[in-house]
Amino acid sequence: LAKSSHQPKQSETTRNFMSALRLAARSFARLARGPGKIITPKESSGSGLVPAPPIETPAVVPHTSTTHTLHSDAAIASLLDHPSLIISRKVEFMNLALGFEQKHQYGIYSPDGQLRGYLVEHDNGMAGLLARQVLRTHRGFTASVLDLEGKPLLTINRPMYLINSKITCTDVVHNKLIGEVHQSWHLWQRNYDLFLRKEQIGRVNGGLLAVEFSVCDEAGAEYARVDKDFTGFARELLTDARQYAVHFATGEPARPPLTYDERAVVLTLAVSVDFDYFSLHGGGGMFPLFFFLSD
Q: pLDDT tens for residues 204-243? A: 999 888 999 999 999 899 999 999 986 656 555 555 568 8
Average confidence (pLDDT) over 81-89:
92
Alpha-carbon gap, residue 118 to 101, rounded angstroms: 19
What letter does residue 250 receive in the DSSP assignment? -
Q: Is the pLDDT of residue 4 over 50?
A: no
**DSSP characters over 33-59:** T-TT-S---TTSTT----PPPP--S--
46 vs 203, higher pLDDT: 203
pTM of the model: 0.72
Distance CA 242, CA 121 (A): 15
**Confidence at 132, pLDDT banded by 50, 70, 90:** low
Average confidence (pLDDT) over 22-45: 41
| Beta-sheet strands, E only, within 104-260 | 105-109, 115-121, 141-146, 152-158, 166-171, 176-184, 189-196, 199-208, 212-216, 222-229, 243-247
Residue 135 has pLDDT above 60, yes or no: yes
